[in-house]
Chain A
Amino acid sequence: MGKYSIGEFEEVVMLTVAILYDDAYGISIKEEIEKRLERKVSVGAMRTALNRLEKKGFLDSEFGEATAVRGGKRKRYFKVTPLGKKVLEQVMETRKQLWDSIPSVAFDFKFA
């Protein structure tokens, strides 16, 4: 699977961060994933994934403004780094190659 390995959930998180672009912080990412993938995401799981991806250098983050609803805490906005983009492309590429290598009859279920 190439140079970089990321898990399926990590991939989802990175793609979501990319989708949200300017507004990618904890809650928004969580809600976006829940909305799009129709699955529950715990704060813990997502936070760990974000943290790990940042450590690997696939994501970058900076603090935003504080709001009252967050008890005066600042938001941390995430951004996909160029390296992250490369990883995502690589994952997609690998997938595509795999799909392309499937013989057409393999998925031909008409007579199965």
Chain B
Amino acid sequence: MSNSSEISPPRLPTRFLRWFCNPQLIEDVEGDLSELYAERRSKSPVGAKFRYLLDVMLLFRPGIIKNIELKNGLIHTAMIKNYLKIALRNALRYKGFTALNLLGLIVGITTSSIIFLWVHDEVSMDKFHTDGDKIYQMFRNMKQSGKETRTTWTIPKPAADLMRDEYPEVDRVVQVSWPIEMRFEKGDDKSDEVGYFVTSSFFSMFSFEVLEGDKNTALDDISSIMISRSVAEKYFGSQWKDEAVGNTLKIDNDREAIVTGVFENTGSNSTLQFDWLVNAESFFKENQWVDDWGNGSFRIYFNLHEESKVPVVADRIRDAIKIYAAGLDNAGDEELVLHKFQDYYLYSNFSNGVVDGGRIGYVKILSVVALLILIIACINFTNLATARSSRRSKEVGLRKVMGAYKSSIGTQFLLESVLLSACAMVVSIILTYLLLPSFNQMVDKTLTIDYSLPITWMYIIGIVLVVGLLSGSYPAMLLPRFNIISSLKGMVKQTSGSALMRKGLVVFQFAISTFLIIGISVVYKQLDYVLNKDLGLNKENLIAVDLNYELGERWETVKEEVNKLPNVTAVSVASGNPLASNRSTSSTNWEGKDPNVDYEINIMLTDKSFVETTEVEVIRGRDFSDDLADSTSFLINEVAAELMGFDDPIDKRVSFWGIDGRVIGVIRNYHMQDMYESISPLIISCIAPSRSDVALIRVDGNPAEVLEQTEQILTSLSSSYEFDYNFVDQAYAENYNTEFLISNLVKIFVVISIFLSCLGLFGLSAFTAEQRSKEIGVRKVHGASVKHLVLLLSKDYSVLMIFSFILAIPFGYYYAQQWLDGFEFRTSVSIGLFIVAGLITFMVGAITVSFKSYQAARVNPVKTLKDE
């Protein structure tokens, strides 16, 4: 204790304490701490050090920390206080101007915040799985018609077995079925639920939360089932936690399944959406076809022991199908490729076997729109602030006389704009709150502002700083440069540079708006084209009614009964909606086919009235005939005829699935997929109408009545039948839901961007009118008419508008063309489109400017000239 160096407390905390502590307190506080330290040290040296540190940390609080309020000399808090006060006074003095400024910022920030929320949600899809970035999914590239490649995620089951057995690099393989609907029953309750058959290691790969049951073993038994929380609540009430597990549900009318687990509802940020899970073995057992290398079945997900082995595995698996399926009659020219599971949501389009965008395109478009809108809002601010700078010239002059540095005046204006953007941010957050519910409804999402995420705060603070600094930087550079004497006289002449800058910014703003208008018009034109294009069959007034197995077997009765209904002109049964064809085979053979090349050809199984019902045009040969035995006659489409290379296809021998037949006619191509896809070759056969899944009904008149009567007929024919139908044209339009959604969104944002640009223009023309008020007065005295003056004031801006239009054209053309290139069938970008876009912006701009000009021109010249 006598040696003072021995008892001196730890250095680092002491230095920290000396740094932050109020100098008036430091001596005594430090003394107290040393005394305590010495006392504690005698008990435990280590503990004393720790507690010393702890005490120092606890002292780091207001009241102890040195006073940075006043007279410190390092930070000019007094000046900052003054800046704030002046900013507030100025804001209140020019209320209209402040409101204009704030409004622009608020609209801009709110819009971009909502878009960024959407983007964030899109990007975070499927990202919640632990080690999710290490999950890979297998895809199958199928060569079509020799030239194009179609990519699918249905993979032959033996590929999964192969990976498990012979690939030492592979850690886990999980197979997941396509979404399957099953009928659930318990007592009187019944419902159809969609879910997956999965292999038992599903939960060890995907991090879905299991609420009840053991996630490692719950799926082991093939008679067991796991259900989602919502299904559990539906069948076991609020007590599901106790009752669900161990109970049984009747499934698909014929078997009992024991509930072995309940998992949390899959939620909106997962692409895997399911309400039940059953062990895949039970599916494999009943469906022997899955064991064939030629048949695609479940999705395959896997991960590896070592991430670096991905290329090795990819190399090895690529040709597996070719090797193992060789010689099978349904073998195609196919490759297996690997992609990251998490990327699939945003990058789900494949073109020729290679990933080619997907939703990421929309994410990018909207991000760009959000950024553009934010930039427009910033430009507004800059413009208005510079335009109004002469109002502040006396203040700047006085500050300079009192010895203010240029830099401190710059700081003042930057601070002011950051402050304003912070205010705008606060209002925007509230607005976002209010607008989110309706936006959610529109995009079918559940977006919320999550304040627990650090990224939210980073965004809020980041936007405030970026918007504030960006929009304030030009005024902050310009204002301090004012000449002291002239600014004190209040005679600051706007330099031609700053006027040019403002005009440039306006041009830029309007160029962005014009660009957005061009973009949206192209999207609309394309959608219009797609929906009204002649698809090769008549999709209006055509209803597709689902059939079950039983009704398929009794297809003749179905047809006969439905045909009798009034307003029904034709009925045909078919294996699917003709505009969403889903059946294809690579086992097709024909006269003169190169035996070494395989082609994937679509098959439509139907009856003899298909052509009559869909109004497809037979361009060569004849339609199926009721009088002839046509069960092994085929119709083919033009693409197929060309592919098969027949000069005259009629009567040529063609076979598929081992069925031999002859071509009796060629039909005009009709679209079997959306417009992103080219038309595939097609064979239409009426060999097995009993395997039909839908009845196509051509109606003439009130479809509601027909539907009602059809339902009666069908339910009387099959007691277990659930009536379901869709209109073929509506189902087709649904292919473009995303496009509709995006175009609606962009439309809103276009309006917002125009609004913002006009706001800037309005402010600017108000400023010009004010600056030229004396000139206007003199002109009026000399007899200028109001009309003449409005024209005079608006003229300048018309030139700006034309500039912005010219600037927007090349960008608009380039990007519109790029987007259209994604469609196999597309409309053209026409000049008319640009002219319309230009006219719209010009009109809106002209109205804005002349409104303000008119006001200025109406002022009594006495008012403006009296003080000269």
Contact = CB atoms under 8 A, between A and B. Distances in A.
Interface of A: 25-27, 30, 42-45, 47-48, 51-52, 63, 66, 68-76
A47 B31 contact: no
Interface in B766-798: none
Contacts of A76: 27-28, 31
B9 interface: yes
Given A69-B7, A71-B9, A74-B28, A47 B59 contact: yes
B29 A75 contact: no
Nearest to B62: A48
27 contacts: A26-B31, A27-B35, A27-B36, A30-B32, A43-B29, A43-B36, A44-B60, A44-B61, A47-B63, A48-B61, A48-B64, A51-B25, A52-B63, A68-B2, A69-B7, A70-B34, A71-B4, A71-B8, A71-B31, A71-B34, A73-B27, A73-B31, A73-B34, A74-B27, A75-B31, A76-B27, A76-B31
A26 B27 CA distance: 12
Contacts, number: 76
Given A71-B8, A73-B27, A45 B35 contact: no
A45 B4 contact: no
A33 to B, nearest CB: 14
B28 A26 contact: yes
B32 A26 contact: yes
A35 B2 CA distance: 28
B31 A43 contact: no
A30 B39 CA distance: 14
Contacts of A74: 27-28, 31
B55 interface: yes
Contact of B63 (A51, A70, A71): A51
A43 B33 contact: yes
A27 B38 CA distance: 12
Contacts of A47: 25, 29, 32, 59, 63-64
Contact of B4 (A26, A27, A48, A68): A68
Contacts of B58: 42-45
B458 interface: no
Contacts of A26: 28-29, 31-32, 35
A79 B132 CA distance: 65
A71 B25 contact: no
B9 A43 contact: no
B693 to A, nearest CB: 76
Nearest to B59: A44
Contact of A43 (B2, B27, B59): B59
A41 to B, nearest CB: 11
Greatest chain A CB density within 10 A among B1, B8, B61 is at B61
Contacts of A27: 32, 35-36
Interface in B13-41: 25, 27-36, 38
A73 B64 contact: no
A73 B61 contact: no
A75 B25 CA distance: 11
Contacts of A52: 63
Given A43-B32, A47-B25, 20 more contacts: A26-B28, A26-B31, A27-B36, A42-B58, A43-B59, A44-B58, A47-B29, A47-B32, A47-B64, A63-B28, A68-B2, A69-B1, A69-B7, A70-B34, A71-B4, A71-B30, A71-B31, A73-B31, A75-B28, A76-B28
B811 to A, nearest CB: 60
A52 B61 CA distance: 13
Interface in B367-419: none
A42 B38 contact: no
Nearest to B31: A73
A66 B31 CA distance: 9
A47 B9 CA distance: 19
Interface of B: 1-2, 4, 7-9, 25, 27-36, 38, 55, 58-64
A112 B643 CA distance: 97
A36 B562 CA distance: 96
A40 B58 CA distance: 13
What 3 A-B pairs are tightest by C-beta distance, nearest first?
A73-B31, A44-B58, A26-B32
Contacts of A30: 32
A39 B180 CA distance: 65
Contacts of A44: 55, 58-61, 64
Contacts of B64: 44, 47-48, 51
Nearest to A51: B63
Given A27-B32, A27-B36, A71-B34, A48 B63 contact: yes
A30 B661 CA distance: 103
Contacts of A63: 27-28
B474 to A, nearest CB: 45
B55 A73 contact: no
Nearest to B30: A73
A70 B34 CA distance: 5
A69 B38 contact: yes
B38 to A, nearest CB: 5
Contacts of A71: 4, 7-9, 30-31, 34
A63 B26 CA distance: 12
Nearest to B2: A68
A51 B29 CA distance: 11
A22 to B, nearest CB: 17
Contact of B35 (A42, A48, A69): A69
A33 B61 CA distance: 21
Contacts of B63: 47-48, 51-52
B600 to A, nearest CB: 76
Given A43-B59, A44-B55, A47-B59, A69 B28 contact: no
Contacts of B30: 71, 73
Greatest chain B CB density within 10 A among A68, A73, A75 is at A73
A38 B29 CA distance: 23
A43 B56 CA distance: 8
A69 B34 contact: yes
A61 to B, nearest CB: 8
Contacts of B62: 48
Contacts of B4: 68, 71-72
A27 B37 CA distance: 11
Contacts of A25: 28, 32
A30 B30 CA distance: 15
A79 to B, nearest CB: 14
Contacts of B59: 43-44, 47
Contacts of B25: 47, 51
A73 B1 contact: no
A72 B31 CA distance: 8
Contacts of B33: 43
A29 B25 CA distance: 16
A42 B33 CA distance: 11
A48 B7 CA distance: 26
Nearest to B32: A26
A51 to B, nearest CB: 5
A53 B859 CA distance: 64
Nearest to B54: A42
Nearest to B24: A51
Contacts of A70: 31-32, 34-35
A101 to B, nearest CB: 35
A63 B61 CA distance: 23
Contacts of B32: 25-27, 30, 43, 47, 70
B37 to A, nearest CB: 9
Contacts of A43: 29, 32-33, 36, 55, 58-59
Contacts of B27: 63, 73-74, 76
B59 to A, nearest CB: 4
A25 B28 CA distance: 9
Contacts of A75: 28, 31
A27 B39 CA distance: 11
Nearest to B27: A73
Greatest chain A CB density within 10 A among B4, B9, B62, B63 is at B63
Contacts of B31: 26, 66, 70-71, 73-76
Nearest to B34: A71
